[in-house]
Amino acid sequence: MACPIPLAYSKKEDIMKVKIKDVKSGLGLNKEEEEYFNNILNINEDEEIELDELLDETNDMEDTALADSMTNSYTSELLKWYGEDLHRVEYMTEAITELGANDGFSALSGGQYLYHRERINEAQHKIITYLEELLDQVATCLECGEEYLDERDIQLCDKCVNKFDLDKLFNDHDSKKIDALDFNEQKNIREQYRK
């Protein structure tokens, strides 16, 4: 399975890094989702960050504080926001039942808060799922020990794959003489295909 975004490998640090803008691009976000993405991952788009660290930050993000910071504090702004999509009025009802809103402003602001919290949770889930899928694609090369994106059945990075006779390997695989698992698990079999 090919990874839709480039990952940078650092041998010195032995970690996989990714640029925030590449994650955003790989997620295929719409305009509203992009706003929540930017609020969840408040990091410079060109900054490289470790995949594990990015996943931890996304998992640890506090949705209530972020939703609260995104909620308007002026009635006129709240009314304008509700006017943009009349279906949002349903969130006012939720604010009354869930949050105990007991006046007009509390219902308006509470509804917007619940809306933002719901969207934040959706975006957070989307980001976490995507990052976990990326981490699942990271493999360790059997030849050099470097991490790389696992895009083939044989567990070799792009640099090391050229050390082996792939034509012979694929012919033997097609004729059922060898399986990719055998190649990956048994060094003596790998040596048979070394150039």
Residue 2 is assigned to a structural domain of this protein: no
DSSP letter string over 23-42? HHHHHT--HHHHHHHHHHS-
Given a cut of 80, whether residue 4 has pLDDT beyond it is no
Structural domain that includes position 35: 8-136
Regarding whether 104 and 14 lie in a shared domain, the answer is yes
Regarding whether 114 and 63 lie in a shared domain, the answer is yes
Regarding whether 150 and 129 lie in a shared domain, the answer is no
Residue 58 is assigned to a structural domain of this protein: yes
Question: Which residue is it, tokens 């702004």?
Answer: 77
Regarding whether 77 and 119 lie in a shared domain, the answer is yes
Regarding whether 110 and 40 lie in a shared domain, the answer is yes
Q: CB 15: neighbour CB atoms within 10 A?
A: 17
Mean of the per-residue pLDDT values for the chain? 86
Regarding whether 93 and 39 lie in a shared domain, the answer is yes
- The pTM score is 0.71
Residue 150 is assigned to a structural domain of this protein: yes
Regarding whether 132 and 146 lie in a shared domain, the answer is no
Under 8 Å between Cβ of 111 and 98: no
Please state the rounded mean pLDDT for residues 188-193. 91
Percentage of the chain surpassing pLDDT 90? Answer: 41
- pLDDT band at residue 15 under the 50/70/90 scheme: low
Regarding whether 57 and 37 lie in a shared domain, the answer is yes
The string of pLDDT tens digits covering residues 133-145 is: 888 777 888 888 8
Regarding whether 116 and 47 lie in a shared domain, the answer is yes
Closest by CA position to 18, among listed 60, 59, 56, 52 = 52
Under 8 Å between Cβ of 38 and 74: no
Regarding whether 167 and 96 lie in a shared domain, the answer is no
Q: How many structural domains are present in the chain?
A: 2
Beta strand pairing status for 15-19 and 8-10? antiparallel
Regarding whether 156 and 118 lie in a shared domain, the answer is no
- pLDDT band at residue 146 under the 50/70/90 scheme: confident
Regarding whether 106 and 20 lie in a shared domain, the answer is yes
Residue 3 is assigned to a structural domain of this protein: no
- pLDDT band at residue 85 under the 50/70/90 scheme: very high
